[in-house]
Amino acid sequence: MSNTRIERDSMGELHVPEQALYGAQTQRAVDNFPISHQRMPAQFIRALILAKAAAAKANVELKQLSESQGKAIVDAAQGLLEGDYMQHFPVDIFQTGSGTSSNMNANEVIATLASRLLGEPVNPNDHVNCGQSSNDIIPTTIHVSAALGLHEQLLPALVHLVQVIERKTVQVHSFIKTGRTHLMDAMPVRMSQVLEGWAQQLKANIGHLQDLLPSLQSLAQGGTAVGTGINAHPQFAAGFSRQLSNLTQVQFTPGKNLFALIGSQDTAVAVSGQLKAIAVTLMKIANDLRWMNSGPLAGLGEIELEGLQPGSSIMPGKVNPVIPEATAMVAAQVIGNDTTITVAGQSGNFELNVMLPIIAQNLLSSIELLANSSRLLADKAIASFKVNEPKLKEALSRNPILVTALNPIIGYQRAAEIAKTAYKQGRPVIDVALEHTDLSRSQLEILLDPEKLTAGGV
C-alpha cells in the first residue's frame, strides 16, 4: 500500500498512514470502530495529554524514568497542546469500554514526538504509560476534563448569567405585571421579583455544583489495572496529583479508595445529575421569556426580546425568540445526556466501568452546551429585552384576581362572585367591587393597588 508504513504491536503488523504520529494500536481502533465518526471531545484529549505530562514529571521524581525521558515526554505533550492536537486523535467515541484505544492513542503520539526530541526511542507502554493503566488514566481523565470544564467554562458562565439577571432586576424593578399560576391570571408581581427567582435558582445550582468539585477533583490515578496499584510506585498517586495541580492550577488529590473510582463512575453520574438540574432551570427561564415575549398582538406581549434574525421564510416581519428556543433545546439535550450517563454508570462490572468513553463524551458535551447557552441567554436575551409597560398595565387593570386582597374584608365567597362577574362582563374588578360592597372607591383603590400587593410595594 502506498503512503503507509508498517507498524507492529503484540498482535502483529499492519499498515499505518505514513505521516501519522500514532502507531499500531491506534490504527487497529480506527479500523475496528467506524461507528459514529465522532472523535473523543477535545477537552478530554487535552486533559489526557496533561495527565501524561503530570505522570512523566512524577515518574522522574520517583526515578521511574530518566530525566531526559521525562523531559522529552513533557515537552512532547506541551508541544501537542500548543498546536492542532486533535488531528492526531482519530479514535471513535464508540470504542472499547475502558477507553484503552484513546489511552494508547495518546501514548503512541507522545512517544513518537518524544523520541524525535530525545533522539532515541521512547516507548508508548514502558515510558509514556509508566505507572499507569487505561483503567485508572481514563477515569482520571474524565474527572480532570470535567473539573477543568466546570472551572473554566460552566461556573464562570453561570456567574455571568446571574450578574446579568441581577443588573436587569434593578432596571425592571418599577414594572408590575400579572402573575400567573397554571398559566392562568394570578396576583401581581414585580418584574424584578420574577428575575430574582431566576437568579436564586441559578445561585443554588452553582452552590450544588461547587459542592461536587472535591469529589470530581479526587482521582483514580495510582490504582492501575484493578485498584491495587500494581506496577505503580507507592508514591506515584500523590506525585501525579501534585504535578497535575501545578499544570492546571486546579487542586487535584489522590482518591481515598481507588477501587471505587475505577469500578464505578458515581461522581460523574452525580455531576451529570446536577447538570440536568441546571438544564431544568435554564428551560424554565427560557420558557418564561418565550411566554412573556409571545405575540406581539395575540400573545402576552409583556416584553420584547432583541430581534436577531428574520423568523420566517414565508411570513414577512415575523421575529422569533431564537435564543430562548436554542437554550430550551440545549436543556433537552443535557437531560438526554444525563440519561445516557445514568445507564453507562450502571456498567461498573466488578473492578471496572466499561462505558467510560460515552460518559466522557456526554458529560463534557453537557458542560460545554450549558456554558455556551448561558452566556448567549444572558447577553442576547435577558440583558437586552424591553418591557412593554402599557401591556402590563392593561392586563393588570382587568385582572379580577386582584379581588383576592378583599378576602379578609368581605370573605372568599363574595370575592369569588365579584371576580366571576368581572370576568363575565369584561369590566375592571374595582368597578364591580364598588357595586357589590360597601367600600368606597378610594378604599378600593388602596386595597386593590397592584403595587401594594407585591410584598411591600417598594
**Of 2, 182, 313, 442, catalytic:** 182
202, 281 in Cβ contact below 8 A? yes
Crossing angle for the helix pair 356-377 and 322-345, to the nearest 10 degrees: 160
Please tell me the distance from the alpha carbon of residue 159 to that of residue 163, in angstroms, as a whole number. 6
Angle at 48 between CA 42 and CA 51, to 5 degrees: 145
* 304 bridge partner residues: 386
Smallest CA-to-CA distance from 107 within 137, 87, 82, 79 is with 137
345, 330 in Cβ contact below 8 A? no
Smallest CA-to-CA distance from 303 within 410, 220, 381, 369 is with 381
Residue-wise burial string across 315-326, b where 16 or more C-beta atoms lie within 10 A, e elsewhere: eeeebbbbbbeb
Q: Is 312 a catalytic residue?
A: yes
Please tell me the distance from the alpha carbon of residue 379 to that of residue 345, in angstroms, as a whole number. 35
H helices of 249-321, where? Answer: 258-263, 266-293
Smallest CA-to-CA distance from 383 within 167, 94, 160, 112 is with 167
Q: Which residues contact 229 (CB under 8 A, 6 or more apart)?
A: 222, 223, 236, 237, 258
338, 276 in Cβ contact below 8 A? yes
Please tell me the distance from the alpha carbon of residue 323 to that of residue 293, in angstroms, as a whole number. 12
Question: In this structure, are strands 12-17 and 4-9 parallel, antiparallel, or unpaired?
Answer: antiparallel
Please tell me the distance from the alpha carbon of residue 172 to that of residue 167, in angstroms, as a whole number. 9
Q: Which residues contact 346 (CB under 8 A, 6 or more apart)?
A: none
Smallest CA-to-CA distance from 24 within 38, 37, 11, 39 is with 11
Whether omega before 296 lies within 30 degrees of 0, making that bond cis, reads yes
**Of 36, 66, 174, 312, catalytic:** 312
Active site residues: 182, 312
